[in-house]
Amino acid sequence: MSQSLLIEAGRLEARYGSRTVVRVDRLQLASGRTLALLGPNGAGKSTLLRLLALLERPRGGELRVFGEAVTGQERQGLRLRRRMATVFQAPLLTRGSVFDNVARGLRFRGLDRAIVRQRVEQWLTRFGIAHLAAQEGRTLSGGEAQRVSLARAFAVEPEILFLDEPFASLDQHGREALALELEEVLRTSRIAAVLVTHDRSEALMLADEVALLMGGVVRQSGPIRDVLARPTDADVARFVGVENLLSARVVQRQGDAVEVSMAGRAFPIPRAPGLEADILLCVRAEDVHLVAEGGAVEATRVSLDARVERIVPFGVPYRVHLDAGLPLVALAAERTLRRLDLREGSALVASFDPSRVHAVPRHATLPSPPVEG
């Protein structure tokens, strides 16, 4: 079944005074899909969301929403925004009970009182806050208030839901719990959504597509798993969590593979388009395996003699920083550290599967950032 495009943007720009802060050559949102606007703080993600949500006027380019060219007329904007809902970092609850806060958008649309009650109760229950219906909205905890904000947004049955870092004000436990609930609601409701986040784990959990912004420019976009697995350049690779960027050189091209040379070793890797002679190999820390010095390594793997420089606790796994003739980082469980008796100065063998390696140019040609006009 084909999916209709709800948002289409081309050459879209936002400017503050003479300064261009966001420039997007092309961006789309299809029905039933979630698009994550992912990037570091200050990348222009929230500004882009406000443009797409018609909360701010673009200063250049084209924008189509629900198949309609956006003209900037106030009446058109109001009509289109009635088909959307937005959840911000701060819940922005008004004076009144939780029930009244969730009902506000429905009453604004002039819906029948019975329908209002049915929808409010449905979404209060869905987000686990039905017991708070009579409580004053401004007395809630941060997590409770954000659940009210989400219930209010879903209650109006929007065709597009905009989420501007909705978990930013919550602690880690609250973020994880609410993100899991939101994932299920988005998956079952099939409401299209645009999510702003700087957290790639949230993006991976909630989104189908991603547009990765840096310096106001979309550096890469596409299905989220493709972008995370195959970043286009070193900056994107670092942001999506690739800790090992290893200098190498292409020595031969053979069909769907290329042979590369790194640290005195030659081995094949999957071919990537547009590679020059000098490249960087993207090797994720979780793909680096550690064995005892002199231990057996599969012949298909690239192995490097290494020495432990330092071991850093990193949540459940540990980050093991190695000197292998080049800097290398591996993730290892505590049982691995005990089994290998690893400590600073320990000698071992580090290896990785070259078929899982992704290569990027060492010197990439990057899109120009927005500049002052």
Q: Is the pLDDT of residue 82 over 80?
A: yes
Reported as a pLDDT band with limits 50, 70 and 90, residue 245 is very high
Amino acid at 62: E
242-361 maps to CATH 2.40.50.100:
yes
The contacts of residue 167 (CB under 8 Å, 6+ apart) are 146, 174, 175, 178, 179, 202
Amino acid at 354: P
| Confidence (pLDDT) at 2 | 52
Q: Is the pLDDT of residue 273 over 90?
A: no
Cα-based angle 185, 191, 196 (whole degrees, multiple of 5): 85
Distance from C-alpha of 157 to C-alpha of 191, rounded to nearest angstrom: 8
Residues, the chain: 373
- Per-residue pLDDT, averaged over 166-182, amounts to 93
Domains 5-234 and 242-361 belong to one CATH topology: no
* DSSP 3-state of 351: strand
Q: Are residues 163 and 195 in contact, defined by beta-carbon separation less than 8 angstroms? A: yes
Helix (H) or strand (E) holding 305: strand 302-313
From the list 61, 75, 53, 65, the residue with the least C-alpha distance to 23 is: 61
Tens digit of each residue's pLDDT (9 = 90 or more) over 289-315: 999 999 999 999 999 999 999 999 987
Domain ranges of the chain: 5-234, 242-361
Q: Is the pLDDT of residue 288 over 80?
A: yes
The contacts of residue 200 (CB under 8 Å, 6+ apart) are 38, 228, 239, 240, 241
Tens digit of each residue's pLDDT (9 = 90 or more) over 125-165: 999 999 999 999 999 999 999 999 999 999 999 999 999 99
Sheet hosting strand 68-69, strand order edge to edge: 68-69, 60-65, 5-16, 19-30, 217-223, 209-214, 34-38, 192-197, 160-164, 84-87
Tens digit of each residue's pLDDT (9 = 90 or more) over 27-66: 999 999 999 999 999 999 999 999 999 999 999 999 999 9
Tokens of 231: 């970043």
| Confidence (pLDDT) at 1 | 39
| Confidence (pLDDT) at 192 | 98
Question: What CATH class does 5-234 carry?
Answer: alpha beta
| Confidence (pLDDT) at 364 | 67
Q: Is the pLDDT of residue 234 over 70?
A: yes
The whole-chain average pLDDT of the chain stands at 94
Reported as a pLDDT band with limits 50, 70 and 90, residue 206 is very high
| Confidence (pLDDT) at 89 | 92
Amino acid at 146: Q
Q: Are residues 227 and 239 in contact, defined by beta-carbon separation less than 8 angstroms? A: no
Reported as a pLDDT band with limits 50, 70 and 90, residue 368 is low
Total Cβ atoms within 10 A of residue 170: 19
Amino acid at 309: E
Write the Ramachandran bin of 224: left for phi over 0, alpha for psi from -120 to 50, otherwise beta: alpha
Reported as a pLDDT band with limits 50, 70 and 90, residue 92 is confident
The contacts of residue 61 (CB under 8 Å, 6+ apart) are 9, 10, 11, 12, 13, 24
Q: Is the pLDDT of residue 256 over 90?
A: no
| Confidence (pLDDT) at 274 | 76
Total Cβ atoms within 10 A of residue 350: 25
Alpha helices in the chain (DSSP H): 45-52, 74-81, 98-108, 113-126, 142-155, 172-189, 200-206, 224-229, 234-239, 334-340
From the list 102, 91, 86, the residue with the least C-alpha distance to 195 is: 86
- Per-residue pLDDT, averaged over 323-351, amounts to 96
